[in-house]
Amino acid sequence: MNLINLRIAWRNIWRNKLRSSVVMMAVTVGLFGGLAASGIMKGMVVDMVKNSLENQVSHIQIHHKDFKANNEVDFLIENSSGIIERIKKNKEVKGVCERTKSYGMASTASKATGIMINGIVPEKEKQVTQIYNKLSDSLGNYFISDKKNRILISEKLAKKLNAKIKSKIIITFQDYNGDLTGGSFKVEGIYKTQNGMFDEQNVFVRKVDLDKLLDMPANSSHEIAILLNDFQKAPEVLSQIKPAIPEYFSEAWYDIEPYLKFTSTLTEFMLLIFMSVILLALGFAIVNTMLMVILERTKELGMIMAIGMNRFKVFKMIMYETTILAIVGGALGILVSVIFTWYFGNVGIDISSVGEGFESMGFGSVMRPVLEFADYIQVIVLVFITGIIASIFPTIRALKMRPAEAIRN
Amino acid sequence: MNIIELKDLHKIYNETEVEVHAVNGVDLTFEKGEFAAIVGPSGSGKTTLLNMLGGLDTPTSGKITINNTDISHLSGSQLIDFRLWNIGFVFQAYNLIPVLTAKENVEFIMHLQGRKKNEREARTKELLTAVGLGDRLNSRPSKLSGGQQQRVAVARALASKPKFVLADEPTANLDSKSTENLLDIMERLNKEENITFIFATHDARVMKKARRVITVEDGKIVSDVRKNGDE
């Protein structure tokens, strides 16, 4: 391979160390800024999706065909345990649980608010969601007591209802027969997820207690939630489950909460746009530098064209120089970004002081930047393209020179 | 045997409001092995003539035939290729690539020709030794004197094995000693290896060494003197 052009380009870059270093530093800082911001954005979204799936949505859900539209208690899944046993046989399934769900009103002596009551089987729920993990030590337990009518409420709801551990909360709702019913529940634990909106609306009670109050038929539920070993296998597992229970409506997380998938895709797209805009700006800086370089080396370029260097080779020589500027700066920017993402991905950036608004949108109060290998590859490709495109204009300028005049310059 | 033939060559510049007839009906031939100088005052048209001879400029009318190829109508890229394989250039300001060593500067043109590494290295060493720089192969131009740089430029011009070498004011920036040294080297290469050298100059020292002196004034040849007395 003929490396003379590459050697000339590399040495030319260091003819003016200060100027080249400034351009490279601009690329480094620009790329780092873009990658760090993208990493934080992506990290927040990944965190939001993960939390939503782990605390709330799981990977696949099964309902009565009409339940989602109306949320009526009589749209049941019958023979829940039989269906669960069949689903458990799938190798990709990590955990399955059934839930009874009902809208109702929670009230204390001072306040009342609308809520979604989730009747869960605590041990089974542990296999699917992380609610049991969201109780701090000082704020009660996750259904340790054998006593009936215990309830888990969120910190946010506790504040709203002015309730504490062992406080009594009256829950009222319509039962299976359409009659108004209710029960008194004692707060056993107070949880807190990263999704303020979810927290405000959801309470958890034992399924057996709720079924009794709702007068639910035996072995029935409103929702079966499935957690998989790998969330990306959801379409594959769904295609196996659907034909096995055609009478019920099965759907994967991206259909249950389309905004999760949309937000994920949008973030990827934003990363591409964001980095492209940054590189476009850096490209202009490189073009400007290279135009100065061409001006300074008029004689030299005239000479090499006079002795017989053709247009393509001139383009290659300028392109190498431009691309090296972009790539060295880009490589440093990526290196700093890798270190930043690795460090803060582990340690996290605490934004709890300003995180109130974020939490209500489902984002965590600790940001952990995330960038994948593919993201870096995408940026490397963009840097390459920038280098090549940025060399076109200076090359055109160089090729317009008439060698005889350039030499006499 | 003629290797260069110029027939009724004209070059008119229209870049300003005033039309400039830089070369005005020149007829000229050069034979293989000549050591010739085109001389004349500034603005006489000698550099324009040299540029057209070297394919760096195209005539307004007339014909330039080099080794039986009419280069007057070659396209830009054909001319670049023609220059690479047929013409060696030595410029007034040396015009070496400053980031390359003497050896790399000489090798550069052979890279452009796509010659193999062994051939490049052997020829580079041979040429730099011939111009007295066998011990400065790895020096960059900034570490060489003006005379030494011009000798590297001569070696570079010869590296491509050209049909002839065009040297535009090659001694203009050199002191007497360097000029003498450079001219001796070029004269030796001319005599020993039959390499054709054509100079554009107004340096008396070059004119003295040249075996043919062509004087140009106002774009016309006013005299063509061969040192054996023929005119």
pLDDT, tens digit, for every residue of A258-268? 888 888 888 88
Q: Which CATH architecture has domain B2-226?
A: 3-Layer(aba) Sandwich (3.40)
Mutation site for B-interface testing, chosen from A4, A6, A7, A307 by largest number of B Cβ within 10 Å: A307
Given CB atoms, is B20 within the 8 Å cutoff of chain A?
Answer: no
- Given a cut of 70, the residues of chain A with pLDDT beneath it are 1-2, 354-362, 364, 409
pLDDT computed for residue A53 by the predictor: 85
Taking an 8 Å cut-off on Cβ atoms, the answer to whether B91 and A313 are in contact is no
The runs of H, that is alpha helices, within chain B are 46-53, 76-86, 102-113, 117-130, 146-159, 176-193, 204-209
pLDDT tens column, B139-162: 999 999 999 999 999 999 999 999
- Per domain, the residue ranges of chain B are 2-226
Above 60 in pLDDT, residue B17?
Answer: yes
Taking an 8 Å cut-off on Cβ atoms, the answer to whether A404 and B109 are in contact is no
- Asked if residues B77 and B112 have their Cβ atoms less than 8 Å apart, the reply is no
- Asked if residues B206 and B199 have their Cβ atoms less than 8 Å apart, the reply is yes
ipTM comes to 0.89
Q: Of the candidates A8, A305, A404, which has its C-beta nearest B57's C-beta?
A: A404
Confidence of residue B70 (pLDDT cuts 50, 70, 90): very high
Residue B51 to chain A, least CA–CA distance (Å): 7
pLDDT computed for residue B211 by the predictor: 94
pLDDT computed for residue A361 by the predictor: 66
pLDDT tens column, B161-188: 999 999 999 998 888 989 999 999 999 9
Q: Of the candidates A8, A303, A404, which has its C-beta nearest B95's C-beta?
A: A303
- d(CA A50, CA A264) in angstroms, rounded, equals 11
- Per domain, the residue ranges of chain A are 4-52+261-408, 65-247
pLDDT tens column, A6-61: 889 999 999 999 999 999 999 999 999 999 998 998 888 888 888 888 878 899 99
Q: How far is CA A408 from CA A24, A241, B54, B167, B217, in A?
A: 32, 80, 15, 13, 21
Confidence of residue B230 (pLDDT cuts 50, 70, 90): very low
Q: How many CA atoms lie within 13 A of A89 on its CB side?
A: 8
Bridge-based pairing state of the strands A202-206 and A112-120 = parallel
Burial class (CB in 10 A: 0-12, 13-18, 19+), B201: buried
pLDDT computed for residue A356 by the predictor: 64
- d(CA B38, CA B36) in angstroms, rounded, equals 7
Place of tokens 């608010």: A113
Q: Of the candidates B51, B84, B107, which has its C-beta nearest A308's C-beta?
A: B84
pLDDT computed for residue B231 by the predictor: 46
Residue B231 to chain A, least CA–CA distance (Å): 31
Place of tokens 């034909």: A243
Q: At what angle do helices B102-113 and A298-307 cross, to 10 degrees?
A: 50
Chain B residues touching residue A299 (CB < 8 angstroms): 93, 95
Given CB atoms, is B108 within the 8 Å cutoff of chain A?
Answer: yes
**Among residues 166-225 of chain B, which lie with CB inside 8 Å of chain A?**
none
Q: Of the candidates B54, B104, B112, which has its C-beta nearest A313's C-beta?
A: B112
pLDDT computed for residue A259 by the predictor: 85
- Asked if residues A360 and A197 have their Cβ atoms less than 8 Å apart, the reply is yes
